[in-house]
Structure 1
């Protein structure tokens, strides 16, 4: 590769990084968490004057550059924590995804995915060699990209498996909670209602209740088994459901009413999420209408008049 080509690649990389940085920092492209939505409403009162507060530019040694690059570095740090190679964090992610494999098995799958993509990249390089277009630097970049990409792609797919399973659990939760409430109201105990749910229903949540029932039969307490289930699933709705059952069992509150109330809360949350998604889709539909259909309609409306003007001339 010549010096001009290398300089062009470096400048193109810098330009692409700058455009990507601008794009991901746009408020419309930046995801807003639940805590950030509540922060303006829960802000504590200030006892001092804002004039005496140290400016943001002085809070970092790099000035405005630190304010620009800081959020990106924070995102990278959070991603590195999510890709933490620690066995405990990965075991929790595997349990949440419903995979009954160990940490070593998952690491082996990551290596297999990396090796598969590397072989694919090597095959593409071989085709270029046969065609007489071999470039050593480009071949090295492709091999490294395929190796690292395959390793990270398996981790990304694990996140997708976790998200899909969490959605399935949330969809199944209201029906199963109503079934448990009906069983408890009919006279069965909490363990009996869990056994009935595990025996008569199918799905991800039913599998979790079956595992919880197995732990109870192995000698664990009901509260401990349910707490372990909420730790595996890591969903707010399930955590509230388990806490409500434990508190109701300790204080003697009717469990059937608690289960029905939790199921209704999840249904209401699903309705709110559906309305929010519909609002976002409605705004997104304005883009093809404004930039696609509307200009075409204007052309069809104006073109006959322009044709008549040309004919008069």
Structure 2
């Protein structure tokens, strides 16, 4: 009876694993349609539904844990907004699952450290449990902080690329091209975060979205004020037929002036910090170089 029970449990588990694997191998409607629309909309990407057997076995539990974390932390609107500003194809659910993974990593590290403390120093179990809980919470918060830092770096890259893109678009429009043709020409010669955002705009236009609405969507999803004004100006120009060349040149000049002002302000804020290497490193070495030959000469004179 024991052998029969073990065989029954093993066969049931094997059937569950195989059925879950078969469900994950079945392509979804999005995955079937993506190869046919990717040529007109390159940002249509198939979502990854789990990782084979592991996704089928542990996916539901991880998804429930991620939903619980989302309910406890709140801020789902903030996370969604940051994902949109990053231009990522990751959904809110995928990000919550990634937070669970980071939290599990922090929990594993804290558990290993707790086991070491318990065996070496005999630390009390409640303290170790609190330490493990802090490890899980720290991993979750570290994932959120990593997203914020990625968004900030992405927006700095967008702001750094904007003056060049605005000048190139102004030259293309002044040469007689339409804004969309100018954007396509820019995408052919520029590669970066801003060109990727403009590629999304052009892809939306090619798939039937009105031009003004595509530019308004760019202004709504970006967190950079200058790029939002740029997209709104393009949308107004397309709707009303206003001139673009002077507006684009003035926006590029404003962004360059703002970058120069921010650099001067950053230097002013770090002026005190820059005094530390001067006072504690460069100045002592200069004094040593100035007085060391005299000290050696006095030492030789006193010795003779």
Where on the TM-score scale, by shorter chain, does this alignment land: which range? 0.5 to 0.7
Deviations 1:11-45 (A, max 9, x none): xxxxxxxxxxxxxxxxxxxxxxxxxxxxxxxxxxx
Question: Partner residue of 2:259?
Answer: 270
Question: Partner residue of 2:168?
Answer: 179
Greater alpha carbon shift after TM alignment, 251-260 vs 121-130: 251-260
Question: Whole-Å Cα distance in 2 between the matches of residues 128 and 204 of structure 1?
Answer: 46
Unaligned runs of 5+ in 2: 1-71
Question: Whole-Å Cα distance in 1 between the matches of residues 153 and 195 of structure 2?
Answer: 15
- Aligned pairs (5 A) from 1:206-225: 206-225=195-214
Greater alpha carbon shift after TM alignment, 233-242 vs 132-141: 132-141
1:173/1:263 contact within 8 Å kept: yes
Which of 1 and 2 has greater Rg? 2
Q: Following TM superposition, by how much is the alpha carbon of 1:281 offset from its aligned partner in structure 2, in angstroms? A: 2.5
Q: Following TM superposition, by how much is the alpha carbon of 1:170 offset from its aligned partner in structure 2, in angstroms? A: 0.7
Question: Whole-Å Cα distance in 2 between the matches of residues 262 and 168 of structure 1?
Answer: 17
Question: Whole-Å Cα distance in 2 between the matches of residues 292 and 259 of structure 1?
Answer: 47
Task: Give the TM-score normalised by structure 1.
Answer: 0.65
Deviations 1:181-227 (A, max 9, x none): 11111111011112222233211111111111111122222121111
- Aligned pairs (5 A) from 1:1-313: 85-290=74-279
Check 1:298–1:166 CA distance in 2 against 1; reply closer, same or farther (3 A cut). Answer: same
Question: Whole-Å Cα distance in 2 between the matches of residues 85 and 189 of structure 1?
Answer: 44
Unaligned runs of 5+ in 1: 1-82
2:163/2:256 contact within 8 Å kept: yes
* DSSP 3-state at the match of 2:242: coil
Question: Whole-Å Cα distance in 2 between the matches of residues 285 and 277 of structure 1?
Answer: 12
Question: Whole-Å Cα distance in 2 between the matches of residues 198 and 294 of structure 1?
Answer: 51
Question: Whole-Å Cα distance in 2 between the matches of residues 144 and 87 of structure 1?
Answer: 22
User: Superposition RMSD on alpha carbons, in Å?
Assistant: 2.7
Which structure has more RCO (C-alpha within 8 Å, separation ≥ 6)?
2
Deviations 1:35-56 (A, max 9, x none): xxxxxxxxxxxxxxxxxxxxxx
Q: Following TM superposition, by how much is the alpha carbon of 1:279 offset from its aligned partner in structure 2, in angstroms? A: 1.9
* DSSP 3-state at the match of 2:270: helix
Aligned residues: 226
